[in-house]
Amino acid sequence: MSQPIKEFPFYTNFNEVTHDILEMANQILRDKFLFLSSLTDTEQVILKVLDNDKTIGIHEGMTIQVDSTVCNRIDFSCDAPLVYEDITQDSALDDLLPALKEARIGSYLGVPIILRNGDVFGTLCAVNSSASVFDCTSVNLFQKVARLFSYYLDLEKLAFRDSLTGAYNRQFLHKYFDEHPTAYGALLFLDLDGFKNVNDLFGHHAGDLVLKEVSLRLEELMLHNDGFVVRLGGDEFVVYYHHLSDRHQIVNQAELILGRLSSWDSLRDKEKFQLSVSIGIIPYTEQMNIDLSTLLEHADAALYQAKSSGKNKYQFYEGVGLEA
C-alpha cells in the first residue's frame, strides 16, 4: 500500500477533483453517505466526504487503524467491489459490528482505487444508516468513477516520481520543503562509488538495474522511518529524515545505508559489481531558517569530503549542524 509520506496533497486541484468525484458518485447512489479514503499498511484516512446522512459517524481527516476497517476486507488483488447490504446479516463482520453500529453504518459498498503500477491508493465508498440494496448497474458505474479518479492520480504522480526507479524526484523534494518551511531533520546526499564502471563494463541496462535496486533498498530502510527517498538524477539520491535530530541516530542510519549498498553479488547471476556509496550529511533545526538549496549545497560539500577521504564513507557538514 502507500508510503507514510504521500505526494497526493500536492496534486493539482486535489480538493476540487475529490469533491467532483463524490458529486459524480452521488448521481449514481443518491442519498448515501459517500467518502474517499487512502490506505497504508497501518491506517485508513478519510480524505473527503459527501455527507448526505449527518448521522453517520465518519468525518474528513478521520484516521482508523486499518485492521478495524471494512475497507481492509476488499480484495484489492482482484480489483473487486465489496458489498454488505445489511451488516447485521453477515457473520464475517461480527468483530467489527460494535464499531459499525456506533458509526451508524447499516450497509456498505466499497470499491478499490488502484494505480496503474498496482499500488493501492484507497477506496471509494457508499454507506447508509440502514440496510440498502446495491444493484449491479450502480455498482459497475461506481467502479468506473473510482477508475476515473485513479487515472487522475496516475497523471499527477508522474510529476513527482522518477520514471526509472519510482522514487520521489527533485520536484517533489522542492515542493515538500515549500509546503513544510518549518521542517527539521537530517538530509543525506548519496552518490554511488563505481557506478560509471557498471555502465562502461556491463552497459546501461545493468546500470538501470542498479539504480532500481538502490531505490528499492533505500525504500526498505525507510519503512520504519519518517522520511522519504529522492533520486536527484544519475546515481545521486537524497534520503530525508523528518524530525531526526540525534547525531548518533543519524550515524546509525548512515551506517545502515553503507552496509545495505555495499553488497552486489546477487543482483545478476554472472557479474559482480564493485559498488559502494559515499554520503554527505546535513542535520538542521527549525531555528536555522535554512532553505533547501543551501541544504543540498552543504550536503554536497560533505559528500565531496567523504569521496575525497576514500569513498564508502559518510561525512557530516560541519559548518552548521549538531555538535559531535
pLDDT digits over 165-178, tens only? 999 999 999 999 99
How many domains is the chain partitioned into structurally? Answer: 2
Q: What per-residue confidence (pLDDT) applies to 5?
A: 53
Residues 153 and 176 placed together within one structural domain of the fold: no
CATH of the domain at 275: 3.30.70.270
Residues 25 and 125 placed together within one structural domain of the fold: yes
- Whether 165 maps to a domain, the answer reads no
209 backbone dihedrals φ, ψ, rounded to 5°: -60, -40
Q: How many Å apart are CA 96 and CA 87, to the nearest integer?
A: 9
Q: What per-residue confidence (pLDDT) applies to 296?
A: 96
- Whether 215 maps to a domain, the answer reads yes
- Whether 187 maps to a domain, the answer reads yes
- Whether 162 maps to a domain, the answer reads no
Residues 220 and 259 placed together within one structural domain of the fold: yes
What are the cell numbers at 84? 454488505
- Whether 260 maps to a domain, the answer reads yes
Residues 222 and 97 placed together within one structural domain of the fold: no
Domain that holds residue 302: 170-316
- Whether 2 maps to a domain, the answer reads no
Question: In whole numbers, what is the pLDDT of the chain averaged over residues?
Answer: 91
Residues 132 and 202 placed together within one structural domain of the fold: no
Query: Mean pLDDT, to the nearest integer, of 78-102?
Result: 94
Q: Which amino acid is at 8?
A: F
Query: Mean pLDDT, to the nearest integer, of 294-304?
Result: 96
Residues 142 and 278 placed together within one structural domain of the fold: no
Predicted confidence band at 57 (pLDDT cuts at 50, 70, 90)?
A: very high
Q: How many Å apart are CA 58 and CA 64, to the nearest integer?
A: 10
Alpha-carbon distances, residue 187 vs 23, 190, 281 (angstroms): 42, 10, 6
Residues 66 and 178 placed together within one structural domain of the fold: no
Residue ranges in 119-263 assigned as alpha helix (H): 136-157, 170-179, 195-202, 204-221, 247-260
- Whether 324 maps to a domain, the answer reads no
Query: Mean pLDDT, to the nearest integer, of 291-302?
Result: 95
CA neighbor of 170 nearest in space, from 160, 179, 178: 160
Q: What per-residue confidence (pLDDT) applies to 273?
A: 77
Residues 258 and 307 placed together within one structural domain of the fold: yes
Is the pLDDT at 28 greater than 70? The verdict is yes
Residues 14 and 151 placed together within one structural domain of the fold: yes
Residues 90 and 180 placed together within one structural domain of the fold: no
- Whether 245 maps to a domain, the answer reads yes
Residue ranges in the chain assigned as alpha helix (H): 14-28, 97-102, 136-157, 170-179, 195-202, 204-221, 247-260, 292-308
